[in-house]
Amino acid sequence: MSAQLGRLLFFVGRPEEALPHLERALEVAEHLWLPETLAQALNTKSLVLLALRRPVESDALIEKALSVALAADRHGAVLRAYFNLAERQSDVLRIDESLETYRVGLAYAMRVGDKFYNLSMQAGTVSALLTLGDWDEALAIAQTVIADEHLKNLELIAAELVPAAGALVRRGDVEGAKNFLDRLPSAAVSENVQNRSAQHAVLAAIARVEGHPGEALELARHAVEAQATLGLIARGPTEGIIESLEAAFALGDEDTIDELLDLASRRPPGEGTPMIDGHRLRFTARRSSSRGDDEKAATTYAAAMTMFEETRNVFWQATVRLEAAEHHAAHGRPDEASRLIAAARPTFEQIGARPSLDRADRVEALTKSSTPIG
C-alpha cells in the first residue's frame, strides 16, 4: 500500500510527499523479502530522486529495480523497469541504448502476453525515432498505438505519444496535430504531470503557428512549471522552455526572454543537457542578431550547431543551421548562408518539415539575388 501511494503521489506532482511512503515500503519489502514491492518502490523512488535533482542516485535505483524484478521473475515490475530505464536513456540522449531497451522490453511483453506494456514499449520509441529523423516510422507507430482497441488506460502512456503531435505541427499539419491530441486525455483534466506538461508544450506550438503568441506563451509556461516536479531534463519542461522563448520572441518580450534564458543557464552542472544548452545558445544567438551584434550572433550560432551535434536530434541540427543561414544572409554573407541551407535542406526533406523548407527556399532565393533579409 505504501509503495502504491508513493507512486500515485509522484504522478500527481507531489514527489516530496511520496518519499516517506516509499521509504516505508522499501523497509518492509527488504525485511520480509517482497521482491515485487521492493522493485516497484525502487522504481518509483528513482523517479522521485530524479525530480529532486539527484540523477546519479536515480539511475542506480532504476537499474537495481530491474535486476531485482528479473531475478524474481515479476513480470509487471520487470516491464515497468524496462520502460522507465528506456525513457531515462532517451532523456539523456543515449538514443541507441534507449531503443534497444524498448525493444527488449517489447519482446518480454510479447512473451508474457502483456498487451498494455506491448503498446507502451512501442509508444516509448516514438520520441527516440523522431530524434533520429525516422519521422514516418515514429508517426506510424503512434497512430497504431492510439488506435488499438486494447488500450484501456491511455493516460499512462499519453506523454509518450504527444511528441507525434509536435512532429505534425513541424510538418505544417496543424489540423492533424489537433486531431491527434483530441484522441488523448485532455491536458486540462489530466492529473498526470508528465502528460499535462507535454501537451501544454504542443498546444503552445499550435497557438504560435496560428498567430497567437500571447496564448502560446501562457500555455508554454504551464509546461515549464512542471520542472518543479520533473526537472528541466524531462521532455515537457524542455519543450516548454523552447516554446516559451519562441512566443516571447514573437511578442518582442525582452524581459521574458531574459528570464527564460536565465532559467536555462543557471542550472547546477549536474542538471545540464546538450538539448537545453543548445537551445540556450540558439536563442542567445537570435537575440544578438536582433540587436545588431553580428559577431556575437555568428559565433553563438556556431557554438549552438556544435552543441546540437551532441543531441543527435536531426530537426534541431537543421533548424539552427537554417537560422544561422538567415543571419548570414542578412549580413551580406551569401556563400556561408548557401552552405548552411545546403546542409539543412536534406534533413527537412527527409522528415517532411514543409514550413522549414519554405523558410529555406526564401533564404536561398534572397541569397541568390544578393538581397539582405534584415
- Residue type at position 46: S
Residues 6+ away with beta carbon under 8 Å from 346: none
Digit-coded pLDDT (tens) for 107-131: 999 999 999 899 999 999 999 999 9
* Whether pLDDT at 83 is above 80: yes
User: Does 198 reside within a domain?
Assistant: no
User: Does 193 reside within a domain?
Assistant: no
- In the structure, what pLDDT confidence band is assigned to residue 178 with cuts at 50, 70 and 90? very high
**CATH code assigned at 21:** 1.25.40.10
Q: Are 72 and 36 in contact (CB under 8 A)?
A: yes
User: Does 340 reside within a domain?
Assistant: yes
Neighbouring CB atoms inside 10 A of 286's CB total 23
Count structural domains, the chain: 2
Most confident residue range from 55-64, 136-145, 152-161, 178-187: 136-145
User: Does 99 reside within a domain?
Assistant: no
User: Does 130 reside within a domain?
Assistant: no
User: Does 341 reside within a domain?
Assistant: yes
- How far is the C-alpha of 232 from the C-alpha of 234, rounded, in Å? 5
Digit-coded pLDDT (tens) for 219-257: 999 999 877 666 656 777 889 999 999 999 999 999 999
User: Does 296 reside within a domain?
Assistant: yes
Instruction: Determine the pLDDT at residue 30.
Output: 86
Domain span at residue 3 reads 1-91
Neighbouring CB atoms inside 10 A of 120's CB total 25
Digit-coded pLDDT (tens) for 282-325: 999 999 999 999 999 999 999 999 999 888 899 999 999 999 99
Mean pLDDT of 19-23: 78
Element (H, E) at 366: helix 354-368
Mean pLDDT of 171-188: 90
Domain boundary among 57, 91, 125: 91
Domain boundary among 44, 70, 91: 91
User: Does 209 reside within a domain?
Assistant: no
- In the structure, what pLDDT confidence band is assigned to residue 47 with cuts at 50, 70 and 90? confident
C-alpha cell at 44: 518509483
The residue to which cell 542578431 is assigned: 289
Least confident of 57-66, 167-176, 321-330, 361-370: 361-370
Query: Is pTM beyond 0.85 here?
Result: yes
Mean pLDDT of 262-271: 75
**CATH code assigned at 330:** 1.25.40
SS3 149: coil
Per-residue DSSP letters for 263-307?
HHHSS-GGG--HHHHHHHHHHHHHHHHHTT-HHHHHHHHHHHHHH
Per-residue DSSP letters for 223-269?
HHHTHHHH-TTSHHHHHHHHHHHHHHHHHT-HHHHHHHHHHHHSS-G
Domain boundary among 91, 119, 137: 91
